[in-house]
Structure formats: structure tokens, C-alpha cells
Chain A
Amino acid sequence: MTAHSSALPIVAAEWEGTGGAAAELKMSRGQRLVWSLVFPVKGHRVAVTLPGVFLIGLALGIGTAAYNTASNILFLTLSLLLACLLLSGLLSWMNMRGVHWRLRPTRSWRAGHDTAVAVEALNTKSWLPSYGLFFDLRVRALTDATTADAQPVPKVREALAAAERAVQRGRVNLSGRLEPNGTTALEWVHQPQQRGVAMLELAAVGSLFPFGFLRKSIGTALRQRVLVWPAQIDYQWHVSAPATIGASGRRTAHAGGGDDLFALRKYQVGDSHRLVHWKASARLGRLLVRQFAAETHAGFSLLVDPAAEVWTRPEQFEVLCSFAGTLAEDLFASGRLRGVGIAGEPWCETRRLRDLEAFLDQLASLRPTALPRDGNAGASRGERAEPNLITFAPEGPRTVGAYLNGHRAASA
């Protein structure tokens, strides 16, 4: 099994800026302007704010009075108001011009846990700062096509409500100014509600600058696919379950306080001088210290079988995923996780952290599957004859039980 990143970028985390979408059309600037008037770019929006409504009402009132009375003073005031509106548009355009942005989500997302997404903004203007930017972010859960097809077709309103529920929105504001040729990073903390594949999108970059008359938003094409791991869950471990412990102790894949040489690494300040591997250091011209393998413990393997006929209740299946993920992490943290697997998928030895993360990635997008129950899939597991194999099965309507070598060992 090949480990892969939990964040699956569709658009690489490159800078994107104003006019990015239109640039794809390979048009001249004038053509782009005309085309944007005919067919506005998705997400581009100009909304009137409360001061804007004030201004429009004021301009209408003064304009009406000016025409009714032919008073040039009122015409002058009206002209000044209109000129201010033009200035507002010009400044807003200049403010957004040369601003680029990109998304930097954290690598691990977990349902029910706070997750930070960094939005980085760059101002490429030479000497004009940008003010008052805000970034509208959106996380949309991508529904699985197979499960969606199984659902009855809802009414439009219900479908829209369901779609809206599946979307989490947020906004981060740039309170100060973005210096010319400067960058800044803003953090959006949000809590994913469910595991699965989600699409993180920078829906729009907007500003109320300069006078707050209009809320101008620019739609962006910046989005990033992310995996949300299952939530961690409380479970109860039953100590009576028999576990096989290796007779001579098995060497684990983790550094620890054992006797076996595990690896050599660079010397770090604070390392004991007794650990320096002088021979290797002399050969490579830099200080290297020895690392020893951790002591052997009773190792466990986890096997998750997502058979649809076994897991008929979706909420119980969610508990399974959370339980499996939590158990795997706990075992790995104590150095006792030897391997993980999902029925029908290749087996994976958990030597490194990224092996565990790959397993959590699998759990993130795991769905109940109608596996053939002919023995092929089971044979692949059975042939391994893993000692201390933990499997999972439903216990009642809500609970999930973990079975060690066929004996009930834990439940959640």
C-alpha cells in the first residue's frame, strides 16, 4: 500500500489573484472587460450595504429636489455624491488589483475537532497598500455517488436544505492593511462535522473598501480537496481478552530504549556523547548518533470489514470508523500496532506514522461495500494468519464491538 497525502490538491497551492479566471480565456484586457459585462464571472457580486442604501436614497432625494427646484446647489451636491460613488468604485478596483491569495489547510482534518485553514494574501502593488479585505471560505462535503443514488429523490426545497447543511461557511477579515509587496496569513478555524471527502473552497475575496457603500466580491476558482478523518471516540477495553505476546520479543519499528540498533541520525544539541557513532561520524564528516529500537510489546493488527450486509445502520458504521481509527491511533501511540487492513484492500504494516495516516485516510472515505463473501477476500486475510487480529462487529443497534482473536476485547 502506498501512503498518500490527506490533502488532495486539485489546484496546486499557487497564488491566485484578481482576473485569474478571465485570464484563462486568453483575451485582451478590453475584450475581457466587455466579456465580463456580458457574462459575469461566477461569484463576482456587488451588493449594496446599509451606507450604500443611505447614499442611494440621499442621491435620489437630492436629485428629485434638484430637478423639482432647478437649484444648482442641489445639482452640485448631486454631482459630488455621484463623483464620490465613482471614486468608491475606482478605489475598490485599485484595492483589489494586484492582490493574490492561496489556501494553506492543515494536513490532518478530523471530524469534531477544530481545524485551522490559513489564507495567505499577497499584495504585488509597488506602493499602494490594500485595505479591508475579507475572504469567504466554504467547506462542502462531497457526497458519495453510490449512497446518493440509493436515496429517494427528495423535493427541491429539501434537496437545497440538505445541500446547505452539508456546507460550512466562514469568513476571515483582514483588519489592517496589506502592505505593498507584502504578505499576510489569516487563519480560519472551523470544525468539520463528518468524516469523508470535503472540498475546501475560497468562495470569494471581497472588500467594503473604501467607504462601505458596496460589498464587492470576486469569485475565485481556488479549491482544495481534503479528507476528514473519523472523529475520535471513547471505548472500553476488556482486559480479559487473551493476547499472544512474542516469546523473545519482537523488534518494533519505533525508536525507543531497547538494545537493538535501530538507526543513525544527526547529532542534536542535548544528545549524550556516549551515543555518538564515531566511526560513522568520521566517515561522513558530521556527527551521527545511534538510535535503539523500542522494546517488544504484544502487537496487534486491525482488520475492518465494511460489508454492507453486516453494517446495515449508517450511524453504527460511523461508530465503526471512529472506533477503528481511535483504536489504531492508541495502539500506534503505545507502539503496539503492527498492521492494519480493510477487507478487500491490501494489508499494510504500520512502521511509520504515515502508514497510520494512510489507514485513517482510508477510513475517511470508507463506505459499506457489498463484498463477495466467497472466501477470496477472507482468504487473503486468513493466509496472513496475523496473531492478535482485532476485528469489529455490531453489538446491538448502536454499539460496535472489537474482537481480539475472536474474543470480545473492547466496545464503543
Chain B
Amino acid sequence: MATVRPQLSLDELRRFKWLLGGALALVSVWTVFFLDVEALGLVAVASAVIVAAIARPQWPARVPALLWRLAVPAIIAGVAADFYFSAETLPVLIRLAVLLVTYRAVAYRRKREDLQLIVLGLFLVVVAGVLTVSLEFALLLLVFTACALGFLFTVTMIDLVDTGPGVMRPEELREVPAWAKGDWATAIRQLRRAIDWRVVGFASVLFVGVVGVSALLFMLIPRFEIGSSFFLDKYITRKSRTGFTEQVRFGDVTELVRDESVALRVDLTEAASLPELPYFRLIVLDEYTPTGFRMSAGLKNDLLRAQRFTQTLRERGAGHGPNPASVGGQWTFYVEPGVSRFLPLPGKFATLRLRETTPVQMSMSNRLVALRSEPMAMTAFQLDGVELLSDVADAGFERVWQAQRDGTLRATDPARHLLASTEGPLGDANETALRRMVAEIAGGATLPAAEFVARATAWLQTRHAYALSASIPRGEADDIVRWLESNEPAFCEYFASGLVVLCRAAGHPARVVAGFRGGALNAFENYIMVRNSDAHAWVEVFDGNGRWVRTDPTPGNAALGSRALETEVARAGDRSWTARMDTLRVFWYRRVVNFDTRQQVELADSVKSYATSAGEAIRARLGRLGERLKAWLAGPWDLARAGRVATGALLVAALGWALARVALLAWRRWQGWLAPVALDPVRREAGRWLRQRQVNARDGNAASWPDVLVLDLQRLRYGRRETWPNPRAIFQQAKRVRRQAK
């Protein structure tokens, strides 16, 4: 006899509601981990408290009543103070939401408080998702949805029976409810007994279906270009990684070069046309300070003055039509949050298109594009007509430089700040040392910029080796001068700064440029992964002819040259599991985060073209089949051929029959699995006798079957086993009746 699965009692349902509510709160609180809002300690404490409350549901009743009464006022007071001391609004709101979620998760709840918990949790999840657009958000959103659905299901089941008030009364918080007095082991055992795993499996399939349907809806929801920027990012800021801000101190980037996480991904429509792995220019550091290089105030002002609210930028001089010199087709960049507010640019471009209308700062003479503030989320933008040039035309600087050399530059010239690219370390110690080094490099001659750069690079690489850390000997001069005088190894930042200082000392304007160099081609999805360890610094030297020319003094990087992409890619094509997982993130960026009306139209077009081509292909194939059949039928028929055809037809028929039998058998077994009662031999026997009675009824002998016997047979066939009469006696009686009916 099949065992009867027990039902969960109301108290057990309440206990599992407590568990699901806690899980929901934990998931929502953990999303804050992806936000840079200085709440990690709070999240850790909240998580510990929630886990403790889940494990011991009776503990909240032991909290003194005074604490429960003071909890909400204390939260309000704390948040008010937080507002007062914090410069940003959103982090305060997030901390408030974390506190409220924790409070709701650890206090006993009724229906209305349950709904509050869901809404607060959803607020945290959505805010975190919107601000970070990370792939982890998708995972947490799915987990949150599963928890919320289970939670709502339990709430509904309880609500059907529990007709009490919708909110908890204060005095109820002090009493340990009956459901909280048991232990989890017993509750879980009871749950295992009560659960039908087929239903659980079915629910899982349905949840997968929900995800599929939501993906479909996501693609089908009509979108309009309202052109408004997102609002939350105004209330929160984020700091960039050291190395890509307006000031770089010597040695600051040591951590960065050891970081193997992906900083940006570059998706090219024509990856094969890329001749070399480009330098991704991020920021220009033109002003020397004794502790490092930084962006001059003049350059910052240039950027600010050019700021505008736009979605599309066109570089001056770039053509609107297809440019034969452009490479890579369309470049789509996905820059991880926290990298920099400056956008990485591989060279000259025709069009730069952002995902939405955004305040953008730009300086086309320096080929710099920056967002107004550090983005909290992944930044995506596209470039068209990219030319991988190693120089930047700057007519403005040429004019100022010539005027400075001619002595005609006025003190009030607004472009005077550009001369920051000519000023090196000051002071006797520095100047003496630099003069000596320049003389050593140039041999006392005045060399053109390109030749001096070549010699200085060679001189640097001869004296210094490459290393991931640097040490500077003590002395009176500035750090970079002391390093130049030493033979200490260092990394790119020192080589670039050293070369800039030498060039300036030799009378050649130069500046440090920071960005990325290199990357690895993802072998699965054909895009370039640029890691933080690919961060690099190089030099741009003014050639005296109106152009800043790139040179890379770091050992291992060819100056002004490039390595063939084929060899680079062959070496860097990444087939690791990390790369495989990274494709998931790129899929998320490409198909979800970056999905817009254009892609929607493209998708509709591709579906339409696929359907059309598939229809045509099927029609063509059917047509060919028809032709072949016609030709086959038109062929000469003889006895042997007819026999072969007949044998084949018979074989096909036999095979079809066998398959049908197997399918029928499988169907019956499935039905038997669904309703094991039908397989009971007594019930089947009773069913046979009832059918026999129907046969007799058709023959007009139904009257010979007593009503009592029919009722007994029906009871054996359909009734509960406890109510059965003796089956053997009933079947014997039925046998006698049949014999008499004959």
C-alpha cells in the first residue's frame, strides 16, 4: 500500500517561511558587496545576525522589549547622522535599506511585514544591479526571485488559514512563537517526508521556463529612446584604480600590474584585420612634480570647457564615409567599473558612440575623452573608423612652442599652460645630473627629437632592467633623477617618466601617457580581454612638426613599432577556463546590458531572414525530393524491383508497428508510474470483471449480475483499500454469475 505523505502543519509552514525570508534577506544584503558604498562591515554584521536568527528562531524573543522599541528610532537617528556626515545620498540610502532588511529579517513577521521585506530586498538588488550591471547581479537576481517566489507561496498558504491581524503586535515580539520552539533537523525531516520530488522537479522546470520567458519578454519589450541619463549615478561616486587618475605617483601602480582581473573587453567586428595589438590611450600626464606626473590644471580646464551632454562624438578631420585606413570594423568597448573615467582609445576614430546621452569631456588635440564622473557600472561605447596611428596632431601646442622659442609668447596667452610639457625637475642637483646624462646620451650634440629618443631609450634599457618592483637610492635629487642615475630595475612607469625627464632636459617636449598595452584574444568568442596587468605607461614626444609621437622605452616593447598580430594572437589566444567563463560576462554585456533598439531591430530582421531562408530551403528540398521520387517512379519496373520495394515497405511497416508497441508500452508504464493504483492486481481483476459485466449487458444479460456484486466490484476497482470486501469471495461470486449468464 502506498504510504501517505504527511502535510506540513501551520507551524512548520511558518518555520519554513522564516527560513525563506532569511535567505531572501541574505541574498539582498549580499548584493551590496558589489557596490563601493563603504558598507562591507555593516553587511558582514547583518549577515551574521540574519544567519543567527535563521538558525535559532527563538532568539529574537530573548531580545529585551526595550531594544525592539528603540530599534526603529535608532535606525532613523543613525541614518540622519549618516546623512549629515556623508557627502553622498545613495550610499546612505543603501545602508538604511541594509539596516531595515536586517531588522525585518530578525523580527517576527506577519503578512504585511513579509511584503515589506520583499520590497526592501528588491530595492537593494535592483539598485546594486543598476549601479554595477555585473554578471553576478544576474545570478543574485535569479536566486532572489526563486527565494521570493517560495516565500510568497508559503505566505499565501499561511494566509489562507491564519486570519489574525496583518501586522505583529509589540507584545508578540517578546513571546517565543510555537513554530520557533522546534529544531531544524526535525523540520527538515518532516519536509522531506512531505515533499513530492516530482513536484519539486516540475517546479524547477517551471522556474527555468520563467527565466526563458523573461528573456523573451526582455527582447520583445518595446523600447523608446527618451534620451535621459540614469539618475542614481548622480548620488554616488566611485574611485578609479590608481594609475588612471589625473595624478600618478611613482610606485603607485605596483599593485595594478599584479592584478590579473579583466579591466576591459574589446569586441571587434573584423578582428582579423587588426595588424597589431594597439595601445589603448587613457590619460595624458603632462605636468612634472617631484613625486610623479599629473595632468596639468590647464589640460583639465580644456576638458571641462569642452564638456557637453552627448551620445555621439566625431573626431575632427575624420571622414563620414568608409575610411580605407580604418581597421577592426566596429570596436565595442566594455570597460569595467573602477578602471577610469577616461575612455581607452586605440587611435584616431571617426565616431564614438556611447550607450546613452551622457556628459562627456573631451580634448581632441590630445585625443582624450572622459566621462564627467567615475562610472559605477560597466561603461560601454563603440568606435567606428579606427586608425591605429602612433601620433597625435596638436597644432595648438606647436604654435605655443614656436612662440616660446621665438620669445614672442605673451604672458597672458591662454594656451600658455601647454608648456607644462616642457618643464622638468628644478633645482641644481636635478639639473646638473640631467645635463650630465643628456650629454652622455647625445654626445654633446643637439639631436633631433626622434634620434634623441632612440638614443635615450637605448641608454635607459642599457642601464635599467625591467622588474615588477622598483627601489630608488637615497640622495638629494628628485626620485626619478636618482633612479636615472642608478642601475636599479623598475617597471614601465619609471622608464616612461625617465625618458620624459631626459627629453625635456634635452629641450624636447614630452609627456607620459597611461593606458593599456596588449591583451589576450579570447579563443571562444573572438574578443580581446585586456587585464589590469596589461596597464602600461609610455611616452609621447613632440617631434617639432606639430605631432606628438609615441615611443615606448620599457624593455620588451619595440619603440614606435608594433609586433605582428598574428604571432601575438597565436601566443595570447586564451583557451583557459577563465576565458570560457569570461565569455559569459561578454555575452551578458553584449546581449543584455548593451541591448538596444538597434539590436532589437537586427534581431527581428535576423529572425525574419532565418524564417524566410529556412522556408525556402525546405521548399527546395521538398521540390528535389519530389523530382527524385518522380524520376524513381518513372524508372523501369520488373518483378525483382517490385519485390524489393514490397519487402522494404513491409520492413518499414513492421518497424513502425514495433515502435508503436514500444511507445504504447512506455506510455502505459508512464501512466502506471503516475497512478500506481491502476497497477494493483486486485483492482485490475475487478476491472476485468466489470468489463465482463458490460459484455453481458450488451448481450442483454445484465440482470443476472446482482447489484450488490456490482457495487462490491466497483468498490474493489475504485474504492479505498480499507473499505474492500474479501476480493477472493467477490471474484468467485462473479465467476459463478458469468457461468450462469452463459
Contact = CB atoms under 8 A, between A and B. Distances in A.
Contact of A134 (B112, B126, B160, B224): B160
Contact of A179 (B5, B119, B156, B223): B5
Interface stretch (A203-211, A272-280, A334-342): A203-211
Contacts of A179: 4-5
B141 A76 contact: yes
A250 interface: no
Given A79-B217, A83-B213, A74 B130 contact: yes
B629 to A, nearest CB: 36
Nearest to A70: B356
Contacts of A71: 130, 230
A62 B149 contact: no
A98 to B, nearest CB: 13
B105 interface: no
Contacts of B199: 127-129
B221 A78 contact: yes
A128 B202 contact: yes
A129 B230 CA distance: 46
Interface string A293-312: 00000000000000000000
B160 A208 contact: yes
Nearest to B131: A73
B119 A73 contact: no
B662 interface: no
B26 to A, nearest CB: 19
B126 A77 contact: yes
Residue of A62, A75, A90 ringed by the most chain B CB atoms within 10 A = A75
A211 to B, nearest CB: 4
Contact of B593 (A72, A80, A90): A72
Contact of A79 (B111, B214, B226, B674): B214
Given A83-B213, A132-B156, A77 B129 contact: yes
Interface size class of B (residues with CB under 8 A): 35 or more
A131 B593 CA distance: 39
A82 B217 contact: yes
A181 B675 contact: yes
A15 interface: no
Nearest to B220: A79
A120 to B, nearest CB: 14
B209 interface: yes
A358 to B, nearest CB: 28
B659 interface: no
A173 B160 contact: yes
Interface in A44-101: 50-51, 54, 58, 62, 67-80, 82-84, 86-87, 90-91
Nearest to B218: A79
Interface size class of A (residues with CB under 8 A): 35 or more
A126 interface: yes
A212 B162 CA distance: 14
A73 B228 contact: no
Contacts of B513: none
Nearest to B132: A73
Contact of B223 (A75, A82, A132, A175): A75
A211 B218 CA distance: 22
A175 B218 contact: no
Given A54-B115, A67-B226, A73-B137, A210 B214 contact: no
A134 B153 CA distance: 16
A54 B119 CA distance: 8
A176 B7 contact: yes
A76 B152 contact: no
A177 interface: yes
Interface in B695-739: none
B404 interface: no
B115 A76 contact: no
A76 B675 contact: no
Nearest to A50: B115
A211 B137 CA distance: 24
A79 B215 contact: yes
Contacts of A50: 111-112, 115
B214 A82 contact: yes
Contact of B156 (A62, A67, A75, A208): A208
A68 B230 CA distance: 8
Given A62-B126, A128-B202, A212 B156 contact: yes
Contacts of A73: 126, 129-130, 133, 137, 593
Contacts of A82: 214, 217
Contacts of A91: 206
A70 B226 contact: yes
A170 B355 CA distance: 58
25 contacts: A68-B231, A70-B225, A70-B226, A70-B355, A70-B596, A73-B126, A73-B130, A73-B133, A76-B214, A76-B218, A80-B141, A80-B145, A83-B210, A83-B211, A83-B214, A90-B206, A126-B674, A128-B199, A174-B160, A181-B675, A181-B677, A210-B149, A210-B152, A211-B149, A212-B156
Q: Which 7 A-B pairs have the closest CB atoms?
A: A212-B156, A83-B214, A176-B7, A79-B217, A211-B152, A126-B674, A79-B218
Interface of B: 4-5, 7-8, 10, 111-112, 115, 118-119, 122, 126, 129-130, 133, 137-138, 141, 145, 149, 152-153, 155-157, 159-161, 196, 198-199, 202, 206, 209-211, 213-215, 217-218, 221, 223-226, 228-231, 355-356, 592-596, 671, 674-675, 677
Given A70-B355, A75-B221, 8 more contacts: A62-B126, A72-B594, A73-B126, A82-B217, A126-B674, A127-B199, A175-B161, A211-B149
